[in-house]
Amino acid sequence: MDINSIKAQIDSEIGNINSPETLEELRVKYLGRKGFIPQLTGSIPNMPQGERAAFGQEVNALKNKITFLIDEKQKAITGKSTKLPLSSVDIGLPGISQELGHLHPITQVTNEICAIFSQMGFAIVEGPEVETEYNNFTGLNIPLEHPSRDVFDTFYLDAGKNENQESRIKDRLLLRSHTSPVQIRVMKSRKPPLAVVVPGRVYRPDAVDASHSFMFHQIEGFVVDENIKFSDLKGALEVFAKGVFGKNIKMRFRPHFFPFTEPSAEVDISCIICQGKGCSVCGQKGWLEILGSGMIHPRVFKNVGYQPGRYTGFAFGMGVERIAMLKYGIDDIRLFFENDLRFLKQF
Ligand code: DAH
């Protein structure tokens, strides 16, 4: 049947209906699964492309008309509409609540640390996670034979290319293994005075366990100007450590070695669990290591083209997961990355 004959037919048939049963038969005949309307709709795919849209619209209009006629008839026969009366919607039912998320604990701790340095006048700068071998190592005075440059300790992106050593150290790309390369980027593009913190992701091919992850977060910081002293480093780090861990912690600087700082120091805080008496968290030592630091090596200044002897500066770098684990007493780094809401909701 074509559209026009269906139109004519429904108009004549609907007039003769006077019981709910015959109305239902009529509904099935036109709108039911095998009724006229679904038959028309089903024929659309076989029509020429250009006629489908117009035909579809006509069928739809006819379907709406038939639905309307049946509904009117239903009301006339029974006094009830086939549509749900308004009162059947229970407006007292509780709605479907939309849960609000919040920032990830690592983001929260990163923001907190950056805010403390921001208040001391540091700018927040980010750098790329795909970095050159030069910025990640060579520019930072890390020698070619340093173990961290091994392919087992750094993710190289184009290992195998550029076997020629000269172009290799200039061009090879890698996933940065620390945030320190942003020192090179910033020092090359800006002039002192500089006070910068750099939050971001870093990557190392470590086997995952309770304290290692192939991806984690660091915050690098550095200050460069004329006359920056080790005491400036101590002052800034003390404000940071007391801001994060509380006014009562003590700090100590242990001599250490980093290629890009001289002298270098690792920084410990008194154990926040046992207040320095010795417990399982601090391995009975009373101290917890929180970061590496030192005075920027003159060779780093030379590598970025600063006039020899003119500037001094300090730098430091910390792992955000480690700070967060100490601050909240978390004993497994994997918890940060498993997306388990039972864990995340606690922050
Ligand atoms: N880049 C070092 C690391 O990933 C951390 C570090 C140590 C950064 C000493 C510094 C520093 O800026 O002075 O282990």
**pTM of the predicted model as reported, rounded to 2 decimal places:** 0.73
pLDDT above 70 for 5: yes
41: closest CA among 13, 26, 71, 63? Answer: 63
> Mean per-residue pLDDT for 328-337?
96
Spacing of C-alpha 116 from chain mean position:
22
Q: How far is CA 330 from the centre of its chain?
A: 21
pLDDT value at 49 more than 60: yes
Tell how far the Cα of 294 is from the centroid of ligand 1, in angstroms: 9
Q: pLDDT tens, 207-243? A: 999 999 999 999 999 999 999 999 999 999 999 999 9
Cα 100 to middle of ligand 1, angstroms: 37
Helix and strand tally (H, E) in the chain? 12, 9
- pLDDT at position 172 over 80: yes
Buried b (16+ CB within 10 A) or exposed e, 277-312: eeeebbeeebbbbbbbbbbbbeebbebbebeeeebb
Atom of ligand 1 nearest to the CA of 218: 4
Looking at residues 181-209, what average pLDDT do you find?
98
DSSP state of 129: S
For ligand 1, is residue 316 a contact (CB within 6 Å)? Answer: yes
pLDDT in tens, 238-283: 999 999 999 999 999 999 999 999 999 999 999 998 999 999 889 9
In this predicted structure, what is the pLDDT of residue 163?
59
Q: Please check whether residue 252 is in contact with residue 265, taking contact to mean a CB–CB distance below 8 angstroms.
A: no
**Which tokens in the block code for residue 253?**
């600087």
Ligand 1 atom nearest to CA at 293: 13
- Close Cβ partners of 62 (under 8 Å, ≥ 6 residues apart): 3, 6, 7, 37, 40
CB of 213 closer than 6 A to ligand 1?
no
Q: Please indicate whether residue 2 or residue 83 has the higher confidence score (pLDDT).
A: 2
Mean predicted lDDT score pLDDT of the chain: 92
pLDDT value for 336: 98
Is the pLDDT at 11 greater than 90, yes or no? no
Q: In this prediction, what percent of the chain has a pLDDT beyond 90? A: 72
CB of residue 315 inside a 6 A radius of ligand 1: yes
Cβ(137) – ligand 1 distance below 6 Å: no
- pLDDT tens track for 65-124: 999 989 888 888 887 766 666 677 888 888 888 888 999 999 999 999 999 999 999 999
Residue 335 vs residue 3, higher pLDDT: 335
CA of 292 to the centre of ligand 1 (A): 5
Over residues 149-169, the mean pLDDT reads 75
Q: What integer pLDDT is reported at residue 285 of this predicted model? A: 95
- Please state the rounded mean pLDDT for residues 309-316: 98
> Which parts of the chain are beta strand (E)?
123-124, 130-132, 173-175, 194-203, 215-225, 251-258, 261-270, 287-296, 312-319
The closest residue, in CA terms, to atom 3 on ligand 1 is 178
Q: How far is CA 292 from CA 85, 113, 158, 317, 326, in A?
A: 71, 16, 30, 5, 16
